[in-house]
């Protein structure tokens, strides 16, 4: 566990969104850029600088918006959630349909876990993590708020095994699932899940406060396959995310655990009509 947590230093700890016409990047930064161009009438650039313990990772989002599509909001909202498998939902259900002794194409894995969420708003100033002491608690499959104080809902969907990679002792899955966050609504995602590395998935849609959502989400595994940390980069929302979802994040590490009140879904520690 110590080795695992030592290797997990590179998590986003500071987030800053500045609307700039140019992007300045540190020399050692890795640059992720994607463009969504419909008709280049005008160009709006949003830059999110994620400071990852010494190395800077910069996301450039460039939207070229057609005036007839100008009603689709482009502000990037950042939302972080923890997905934790508490092993009390019969999940995952590994269907070895490929009928081979090793994981192979044809295997399907329906799953559902619990969600704790963490929400960061990009146009705030830098968040500074203070190193809180984290309790060591058993892993659970729930979605909790990012300070791990609030149970928000569940994930539900399926992973399709694409490739077994014995050389890295990992697997590649294609995952299609949704985050159900009670009264707030749901977010649907689709994309690659590789057990040995972080991946990005597409945000295919949302309902409720997330209606009209598009963008991407970063998946980080803290403890395979029980604890995952997600960072959503959502655009297309009609309004800012509710203030009650804005919490100071607990830094992701393998030792994170939901608070006992959140795990017990006590009334003060759950989102409204949290999904179960």
Contact 120, 155 (CB under 8 A): no
Q: Is 160 in the site for other proteins (CB under 8 A)?
A: no
Rounded to whole angstroms, the Cα distance separating 257 from 26 reads 34
Q: Is 178 in the site for other proteins (CB under 8 A)?
A: yes
Q: Is 236 in the site for other proteins (CB under 8 A)?
A: yes
Nearer to other proteins, 109 or 250 (CB): 109
Closest Cα partner for 200 from 185, 184, 217? 217
Residue 4 phi/psi, 5° resolution? -65, -40
Nearer to other proteins, 69 or 240 (CB): 69
Query: Whole-number minimum distance, CB 174 to other proteins, in Å?
Result: 12
Rounded to whole angstroms, the Cα distance separating 269 from 271 reads 7
| Total Cβ atoms within 10 A of residue 262 | 25
Rounded to whole angstroms, the Cα distance separating 104 from 186 reads 31
Among 187, 245, 256, 262, binds other proteins (CB under 8 A): 187
Among 73, 92, 170, 212, binds other proteins (CB under 8 A): 212
Q: Which segment (17-25, 122-130, 175-183, 260-268) binds other proteins by CB under 8 A?
A: 175-183
Among 156, 160, 192, 246, binds other proteins (CB under 8 A): 156
Residues that bind other proteins (rule: CB under 8 A) add up to a total of 32
The runs of H, that is alpha helices, within the chain are: 2-6, 260-263
The runs of H, that is alpha helices, within 129-266 are: 260-263
DSSP 231: E
Query: Whole-number minimum distance, CB 204 to other proteins, in Å?
Result: 4
Burial degree of 192 (CB within 10 A; 0-12, 13-18, 19+)? middle
Report the site for other proteins in 88-127 (rule: CB under 8 A).
89, 110, 112
Q: Is 139 in the site for other proteins (CB under 8 A)?
A: no
Contact 242, 225 (CB under 8 A): no
Q: Is 185 in the site for other proteins (CB under 8 A)?
A: yes
Query: Whole-number minimum distance, CB 111 to other proteins, in Å?
Result: 9
Which residues are paired to 35 by β-bridges?
A: 62
Q: Is 204 in the site for other proteins (CB under 8 A)?
A: yes
Residues that bind other proteins (CB under 8 A): 68-69, 71-72, 89, 110, 112, 154, 156-158, 176-178, 180, 185-188, 190, 204-208, 211-214, 236, 275-276
């Amino acid at each position: 566990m110590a080795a695992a947590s030592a290797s997990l230093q590179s998590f986003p700890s500071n987030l800053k969104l500045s609307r700039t016409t140019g992007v300045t990047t540190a020399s050692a930064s890795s640059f992720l850029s994607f463009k969504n161009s419909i008709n280049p009438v005008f160009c709006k650039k949003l830059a999110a600088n994620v400071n990852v313990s010494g190395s800077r990772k910069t996301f450039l989002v460039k939207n070229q918006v057609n005036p007839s599509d100008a009603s689709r909001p482009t502000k990037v909202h950042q939302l972080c959630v923890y997905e934790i498998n508490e092993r009390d939902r019969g999940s995952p259900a590994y269907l070895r349909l490929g009928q081979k002794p090793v994981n192979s194409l044809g295997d399907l894995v329906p799953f559902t876990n619990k969600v704790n969420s963490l929400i960061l708003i990009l146009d705030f100033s830098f968040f500074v993590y203070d190193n809180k002491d984290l309790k060591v608690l058993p892993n659970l499959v729930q979605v909790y708020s990012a300070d791990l104080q609030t149970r928000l809902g569940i994930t539900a969907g399926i992973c399709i095994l694409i490739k077994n990679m014995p050389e890295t002792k990992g697997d590649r899955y294609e995952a299609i699932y949704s985050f159900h966050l009670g009264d707030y609504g749901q977010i649907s995602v689709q994309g690659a899940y590789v057990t040995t590395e972080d991946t990005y998935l597409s945000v295919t849609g949302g309902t409720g406060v997330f209606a009209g959502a598009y963008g991407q989400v970063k998946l980080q595994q803290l403890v395979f396959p029980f604890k995952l940390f997600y960072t959503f980069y959502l655009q297309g929302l009609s309004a800012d995310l509710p203030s009650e979802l804005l919490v100071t994040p607990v830094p992701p590490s393998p030792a994170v655990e939901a608070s006992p009140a959140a795990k017990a879904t006590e009334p003060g520690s759950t989102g409204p009509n949290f999904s179960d």
